[in-house]
Structure 1
């Protein structure tokens, strides 16, 4: 089975840096095959026997902590689950016209619809959000960098950890 793994808050601020070559080597040491990385921001794919996603996430999290001393969260999906997330995108126009400002934010746990309603009330600018199965989609028409719709705000309202990737990266990971 092929998996897509996202590391949360890796290589973005400088404090939790892991070299992608070392991450690939760690995956091979763990017995995974076909380990590849994409960009320097904690995206990887690998092949493994079919396993429960929480078990795979915990295995990677523990190994990264033991090897690199970095405590991070992994969010893992099978490639069919990733493709289903793409197919369920509620923002097809934005995906085509403005993919750099459309984020998929896969979540560690299920997303409660009432939490999404609460998050929408907290949005003060032109951003919009929609929930899918264990994924929040967010469009930032004015850009992401200065937006007040931060991961911290999203997680506070949803009650679950998320990690975001822009639509260009989402498509590259499935390819």
Structure 2
């Protein structure tokens, strides 16, 4: 049995249809095994003998839209991809905090190359650490003490479109531990 993490985009815990128990029920209804959730922001773990992640993403997203009215997007990564990503230790010696907000942005399209250079306006608040090609994940450190940080997400969407989702490095580690 393969283990996967599904990163759901656009989840708002205040919406009754987006609560973890309803999200888990959709995954269970699709026949996935060992379904679990972490935090209240669309982090679902599950097992499946399937290996076609793009097909699973499409099937999950169609079910979320049909059953709960959620149209935000679904991005899946395997346990092996997440294990290799975490084991690469992209933030050596850094601790997640206000001045060093460690992030991982998962990109659905799985581009082969890293993003272009950051716009000058973001360089004082964002440092791109690297791009992990196997997990299609952009790793960055954000300084939330600097004004203008929200523009980082707008820049990411201008480069990759809306089929991306960002999680803190701590969340990525917790999801991997739950897998």
TM-score by length of 2: 0.84
Structure 1 residues 33 and 127 mapped into 2: Cα distance closer, same or farther (>3 Å)?
A: same
> 1:126: which partner in 2?
125
Q: Report which stretch shifted further, 148-157 or 21-30.
A: 148-157
Is the CA contact 2:11–2:41 (under 8 Å) kept in the aligned structure 1? yes
Corresponding residue pairs, total:
171
Instruction: Please say if 1:117 is aligned against 2:116.
Output: yes
Q: CA deviation at 1:137?
A: 0.6
More helix by share: 1
> 2:28: which partner in 1?
28
Is the CA contact 1:111–1:131 (under 8 Å) kept in the aligned structure 2? no
Alignment match of 1:147 (pick from 146, 149, 153) = 149
> 1:98: which partner in 2?
96
TM-score by length of 1: 0.85
Deviations 1:104-145 (A, max 9, x none): 1111022354x6233354524231112111110110133599
Instruction: Please say if 1:7 is aligned against 2:8.
Output: yes
Structure 2: state its 5+ residue gaps.
none
Structure 1 residues 152 and 35 mapped into 2: Cα distance closer, same or farther (>3 Å)?
A: same
Secondary structure of 2:140's aligned partner: strand
